[in-house]
Each structure stands twice: as structure tokens, then as C-alpha cells.
Amino acid sequence: MRLKGKRALVTGGGRGIGRAIALAFAKEGADVAVLARTESEINAVAAEIKSFGSRGVALKCDVGLANDVALAVPEAAARLGGGIDVLAANAGVMCHATVDDMTDEMWEETIRVNLSGVFWATRAVIGPMTERRWGRVIAMSSVSGKIGGAYRSAYHAAKHGVIGFVRSVALEVAGSGVTVNAICPGFVDTQMISEGKSDFARFSGDGRNEEETMNMLRENIPMKRFLEPSEIAEMAVYLASRVAGGITGQAFTISCGSVQV
């Protein structure tokens, strides 16, 4: 087991990529705390974690609120036995709007959850990690952090920010035994994408309905498919493992060939 004895924290751990990462960590022997806003979802994931023989902790937390993160991370560390060895800062939201139609609330929530949430969670774990001379921070960016995208400027701005943050913090802690990396998925078959069908169709500008738009998006991907959450989770397990100790400050694209940067 690649993560035996490690204590992991996953934000946005109730569904989609976060759930897949939490379960993959547990299968590799880690005890895992999952944070998210929906209690029923994180409670279910914690139960699944326990079914693998690992300790599972569920804590309600809105990572877009600094105080929520400041309270939840130390509690998670205490309930896992006194520390966090691996952080997967995964929570994210997406909104669609033209720049002139985007409200302050839409912009601020997207930046808070996708970027500030990564900062707040990292800030809460990085000191103890460096003191212990071992740790892994894995932040969820996106291919949207490497390219532009019309009608999703707040999301793209936040995901670009995650990569810049990761690269900077990696240099701050280089040599301490702590690595800091980002994962940049393309389209993943998750509830967030499913819930965004109407927005993708509305802003496609070509009159396609929701299903036609989803099919068009798949056809534009070289492999003609969306990713599965488990594919992202496997990269997270690798980056969290001992053998990835020489990898830091990197942003790994997983996109079925759609973005080659």
C-alpha cells in the first residue's frame, strides 16, 4: 500500500473527483478526512473509507469561507491522530457569464472557492508539514488554468491562479520534504459538468441542445470521451506517494489529448 500510515485531507470530498481521490487514498492505506458543504455526501464517503479498513472523518466545511477552513483543518488533523500528511485541495465551482454580465457575487464566489480555498487549506497544513519534514500538497487546477475560455473568465482566472500559487509555494518549501503540485484535468464526467449542461449549451451559440452540446464537446476531444474521476485520483495517489518526492512545482495535464501544455 503506497499510503499506509498517512493521514490525508480532501476538500470537496463528497462527490466527483474529490470522492474518487478520498477512496483511492483509503484503498492505499491512508486515513482520510473529507470536507465539503453537503453533510450527507461526506458522511457517505467517510463510511466508504471505513469499509476499506481506514479511518474516515467527515467535516462540513465551505472552503470559500476562511473561518470554516481555519476551524475544520485542525479538527480534521486532531481526529486523524494529530496531523495532515497529504492535502488534496479539490473543491471547485464553475459559473458561465460574459464579463459584462458577471456579477460581483459570481466572480467572488468562484475565486474564493477555487483559489482562496486552496490558499487557506494549504496555509493551514504547510507549517506542520515542514516541521515534520514530510508532506504532499496537491491542488486541483484544470486545463482552464493553462488556456483561456470564453464565458468562464472567473473560473479560468482562478485555475490559472492555482498554478501560480503551487509553483510559488513549491519553491518556498523546496528542501523541506514537502512537495506542492497541481493536477489539470480536462472534461471529467462529474456532477459539476452534468449540472452545467444548460450553460454549456446556452453559451455554445450554435443552437445545439444540451445533449448535442455534450456530444460536440466529446467529439472535439482527441480520445472522443470525458475522463473518469478515478483517472484523476490515480495521479493524486502517485503525487502523494513516497516515490514522487522529487516532483514539485508542476502542473500535470490529464485531458485525453485535448490540451498538450
Per-residue pLDDT of the chain (261 residues; tens, 9 = 90+): 999 999 999 999 999 999 999 999 999 999 999 999 999 999 999 999 999 999 999 999 999 999 999 999 999 999 999 899 999 999 999 999 999 999 999 999 999 999 999 999 999 999 999 999 999 999 999 999 999 999 999 999 999 999 999 999 999 999 999 999 999 999 999 998 989 999 999 998 788 999 999 999 999 999 999 999 999 999 999 999 999 999 999 999 999 999 998
The answer to whether residues 55 and 180 belong to one domain is yes
Evaluate whether residue 222 is within a structural domain. yes
Interior angle at CA 22, CA 14 and CA 260, nearest 5: 95
H or E stretch covering 54: none
The answer to whether residues 171 and 213 belong to one domain is no
Evaluate whether residue 261 is within a structural domain. no
Evaluate whether residue 1 is within a structural domain. no
The answer to whether residues 88 and 208 belong to one domain is no
| Residue ranges making up the domain that contains 200 | 190-226
Evaluate whether residue 2 is within a structural domain. no
Respond yes or no: is residue 155 known to be catalytic. yes
Taking residue 145's Cβ as centre, other Cβ atoms within 10 Å add up to 28
- What pLDDT does residue 76 have? 98
Evaluate whether residue 46 is within a structural domain. yes
DSSP one-letter code for 226: P
Taking residue 87's Cβ as centre, other Cβ atoms within 10 Å add up to 26
The answer to whether residues 41 and 163 belong to one domain is yes
The answer to whether residues 109 and 141 belong to one domain is yes
The answer to whether residues 198 and 98 belong to one domain is no
Catalytic hit among 119, 120, 151, 155: 155
Residues of the chain with pLDDT > 70, as a percent, come to: 100
- What pLDDT does residue 261 have? 87
The answer to whether residues 69 and 100 belong to one domain is yes
The answer to whether residues 78 and 127 belong to one domain is yes
The answer to whether residues 175 and 50 belong to one domain is yes
Evaluate whether residue 257 is within a structural domain. no
User: What span, in angstroms and rounded, lies between the C-alpha atoms of 65 and 119?
Assistant: 11
pLDDT digits (tens, 9 = 90+) for 130-139: 999 999 999 9
The answer to whether residues 85 and 183 belong to one domain is yes
User: What span, in angstroms and rounded, lies between the C-alpha atoms of 90 and 28?
Assistant: 19
The answer to whether residues 104 and 130 belong to one domain is yes
Cell numbers describing residue 106: 459570481
pLDDT digits (tens, 9 = 90+) for 210-234: 999 999 999 999 999 999 999 999 9
Beta bridge partners of 106: none
The answer to whether residues 124 and 196 belong to one domain is no
Q: How many domains does the chain have?
A: 2
Evaluate whether residue 175 is within a structural domain. yes
Evaluate whether residue 237 is within a structural domain. yes
CATH number for position 69 = 3.40.50.720
**pTM value surpassing 0.95:** yes
User: What span, in angstroms and rounded, lies between the C-alpha atoms of 106 and 116?
Assistant: 14
Q: State phi, psi for 31 to the nearest 5 degrees.
A: -85, 140
